Amino acid sequence: MRPRILLAAALLALACAAGYLAWQNTLVPVPLVPDAALYVSAAPEFGEDQAVLEVQMPAGPGLEAFLANQSDLTVLASNPEGGWAGQLAEGLQRSRNGRRWRITFKTGVRLQDGSTLDAPRAEAALAVEVQAAGARARVVDGRTLELRFATRVEDLPERLAHWRVPGTGPFIRRGNGLARFDGFLHGKAGLAGLTVDTDPALTESRAWTQGLVSGRWAWATFPGHVDPDDMAKVRLAPFDEVHLKDGTVWFVARKLRRFNPERGPWSATRLFGVWRGSMDLPRAGALQ
């Protein structure tokens, strides 16, 4: 009798352990909010949405991140009111043990190459990041990608806020320039494009002042030193000083009254919602 009792107890323990492991592997949803509030649609009048802005910014990692933020969306984005907004993801699930995650991508996300985002394309686009994270990816269906980790992972949403899928943003990147992508998920941006001047010669006092005073630039980064006579001219120009957390200062044209650069990091600034309505749009190619 005793061996039977021990065997039954062992089988019960195994069943409980198996049940616990199965429960730990079940998926639970991670709350996401819509990302529509991050993209305010413009309503330009005929011809006004053809404005192409020119700006002055130094080359470097910050500019690279800024341009990427316009052309290549991350899977998730930080929600200003807390939590996470789904930019490319419609849903996110995680197992209770934190070793299995599932991302459900939105339907109808057009890419700049004319294709539509799906799980296989997302898997290919995120392959480097997935490998660096020590995960294995598996396509569950056309919209769902599963990631498996060897150990518990708690910060995947934060990582997904840095993982980009090329060609998903409201602008097409062309070198140091941007051109509007009319097939963007949230509609057309209120400006046709942006050109960034990175020539160091333009940071010389006289050249920088002339670029602002003439209205050539929609905004410019303060070069660190400007002659007093030149600075006096800048003070009279219709520009506001925007002080950023990294210590840099932007001079932003007042006609961009709805343009609000992210103070830190400024590379997270979105151009899509520069103008909310047609009265805020400059005429094509000009600010003054």
Residue 195 and residue 103 share a domain: no
CATH number, position 139? 3.90.76.10
Residue 103 and residue 246 share a domain: no
Q: Is residue 283 classed as helix, strand or coil in its secondary structure?
A: coil
Residue 144 and residue 130 share a domain: yes
Residue 100 and residue 140 share a domain: yes
> Which pLDDT value is given to residue 199?
97
Give, in order, the Cα–Cα distances in Å from 206 to each of 45, 211, 239, 252: 36, 9, 17, 18
Domain containing 222 equals 47-72+169-288
> Which pLDDT value is given to residue 275?
44
CATH number, position 226? 3.40.190.10
Is the bond leading into 265 cis (omega within 30 degrees of zero)?
yes
Give the number of domains in the chain.
Answer: 2
113 belongs to a structural domain: yes
3-state SS, 40-93, equals: CCCCCCCCHHHCEEEEECCCCHHHHHHHHHHHCEECEEECCCCCEEECCEEEEE
Consecutive sets of 10 residues in the chain, 288 residues long: mean pLDDT of each? 60 55 72 84 63 93 95 92 91 94 96 96 97 96 95 95 96 95 88 93 97 94 95 94 93 81 86 52 39
Instruction: Decide which of 165, 191, 219 is a domain's last residue.
Output: 165
Residue 283 and residue 187 share a domain: yes
Residue 279 and residue 177 share a domain: yes
pTM of the model: 0.83
